[in-house]
Structure 1
Amino acid sequence: MFGLVRKGNLRTPEGELAVAAKTARVEDSQSYRDFYREAAILVAVHQQRDGDCRESNIVRLVGLITKSAEKYILLEYAPKGDLLGFLRRIINVNEDGLLGSLLGYAVHIARALQELERLRIAHRDVAARNVLITADDVAKLADFGLARDVYAANQYVRCNRPGVDELLPLKWMALESIETGEYTCQSDVWSFGVLLWEITTLGKDPCYDGRMQLSFLQMVGILRQGIRLEKPPGCPEDLYRLMRSCWRDVADSRPTPEEIVERLLQLRRALLPHDVIEMETVV
């Protein structure tokens, strides 16, 4: 387990504020490194947005507690939980406009990747489990290194590269990240393509070549053969084409977050009723 997350209440001059309090296990050096990495990234995002009143699609940093024995990162509380759980709780899978509505969350996360690209920061773990849904139905990218504990058994594989000992989200990783440990904004785009696949399948676990569990060497072999996640049932061709573009071998040939936003908005216009689009535009 890399870290714990608790709901808490922060007393402020304006009253109590619900927060998510994340802490690191002090006896675990990897957990400690992840804690300070996440804190540094969120501080950088917070400073970059200083004075910008627009809604960010990266989880908001409320504060840091570093002088006590137990360290905490205090984040805005998202009462609707993570996107993966949200997807898996959907009952009426045949609802009109469902996919178009869900792609709204994908637009939000693509915008979060735009923010990170401007800061030259790679998230390294873009996945539905690491997206939070706020009370206002806004998707926010979170978990820059800590939220691995809950899903570690099925979705993280221990790295076997010399000198590296950590659990990694193998089935979400770009080819170059698996082979060389290189993480960039372009490798985040690859992971975003897998997130799109998760949205389209309502939270299914990615499966390559009919296999759920793969080693690093097996994964490299499959990707080098050009094998990718299969097109989900009912997935529009244009959406699957966007996913495939995110999974190109050459990192620089993948779409930018800005291009992804534009293509997703076009897809949503085709999938959603005109009156829904008009209403969202007004808001």
Structure 2
Amino acid sequence: MSGGVAQYVGLTWDHPRGRAALEAAIPFAAEGGADLRWEVHSLEGFESAPLEQLAERYDLIVLDHPHLGDALASGCLQPMESVMGDAYLADLAVRAVGPSLDAYRLGGSTWALPLDAATQVSARRADLVDVDPRTWDDVVELSRRVPVALSLSGPHAYLTFASVCRSLGAPLSDGVAAELVDHDRGAGARPALRTRGPRAPNATDGQNPIALLERMTSGDDIAYIPLVYGYVGYADRRLQRPVSFGASPVGPTGSSVRRSAVPGSR
């Protein structure tokens, strides 16, 4: 508190989608008597930095829902019920996209508010690939003709595996079962995860979704990504090489990833 003005420092991730709206809202915070500034860290930091350590330095944190287990274990977050009030949360639940608010509820409390919602989609360069592959077999066939990349950096290898299993009719367990996924049915995801093909682009395994989409819109060595978090700015038709986002591939029964996708802060 300085001169009667409450001072807050927030942390978000360094991308227009992570910071632009928050920075634009700073004048509104000032009107309410708060001095607010935002600092940024990388997408990798957003995905992996320990919340307990960040909470020691920042008043507000933009986080993703998989962090909630660690947050509750360390007690580093305040429930939104005590900060915003039950009436506000009830109103937000009506206006939020899909289950995006529910994604931040755990242990009977709400620990964050959704800034946006995202799930995995396919990304296609329409000038290099005419139509979206419908099935994973179609993706494998496409990879023989054009460069197809997978999103496998950091947590995205697990997220891709989980989504492929879901599309093949083998969703992951809720953590109670002895196995994460049935061994034989989980093995069915391997062909899709090995979708490399003779024209596979180099060094994509270490690139996060933003880096993959940046590469996709700046050159021609990635024509298609079957599962990647969508960032709408890369579909801007003013770009020289815009991306077309579409449905994710389905399994042999026609099961789509989207049915079980949980929105998060992407």
Shorter-normalised TM range: under 0.3
- Name the TM-score, length of structure 2 as normaliser: 0.26
- Name the TM-score, length of structure 1 as normaliser: 0.25
